[in-house]
């Protein structure tokens, strides 16, 4: 009975499709969860310092420690260029 066989195949396909959809939804959920976790980690790493604003320079800080904390909170790539050109990991050596 080729007709019945075909029908079964279609049902199996529909099931597999549903399963794939469910898996994709689960994955999207897991990805969102991971994103949320990463955001929470980056927030706790920054120690409450908001490093997402406009570019900061050494003149925006009153002490070297303050600039250092900000540079460390903004990540290893030093997007605010507070390390200067020596790239020794010390921010704004000119500050007290």
Binding site for Ca ion (CB under 5 A): 55, 57, 80-81, 83-84, 86, 88, 90
Cα Rg of the chain (Å, integer): 26
Q: What letter would DSSP give residue 58?
A: G
Contact 91, 70 (CB under 8 A): yes
Shortest distance (Å) from residue 96 CB to Ca ion: 15
Shortest distance (Å) from residue 64 CB to Ca ion: 10
With respect to Ca ion, which residue has the nearer C-beta, 69 or 84?
84
With respect to Ca ion, which residue has the nearer C-beta, 1 or 93?
93
Contact 57, 82 (CB under 8 A): yes
Contact 76, 87 (CB under 8 A): no
With respect to Ca ion, which residue has the nearer C-beta, 3 or 55?
55
Shortest distance (Å) from residue 86 CB to Ca ion: 4
């Amino acid at each position: 009975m080729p007709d019945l066989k075909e029908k079964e195949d279609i049902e199996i396909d529909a099931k597999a499709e549903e399963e794939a959809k469910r898996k994709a939804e689960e994955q999207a959920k897991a990805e969102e969860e991971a994103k949320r976790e990463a955001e929470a980690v980056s927030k706790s790493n920054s120690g409450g310092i908001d490093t997402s604003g406009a570019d900061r320079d050494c003149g925006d800080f009153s002490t070297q420690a303050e600039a250092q904390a900000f540079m460390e909170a903004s990540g290893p790539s030093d997007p605010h260029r507070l390390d200067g050109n020596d790239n020794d990991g010390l921010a704004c050596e000119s500050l007290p």
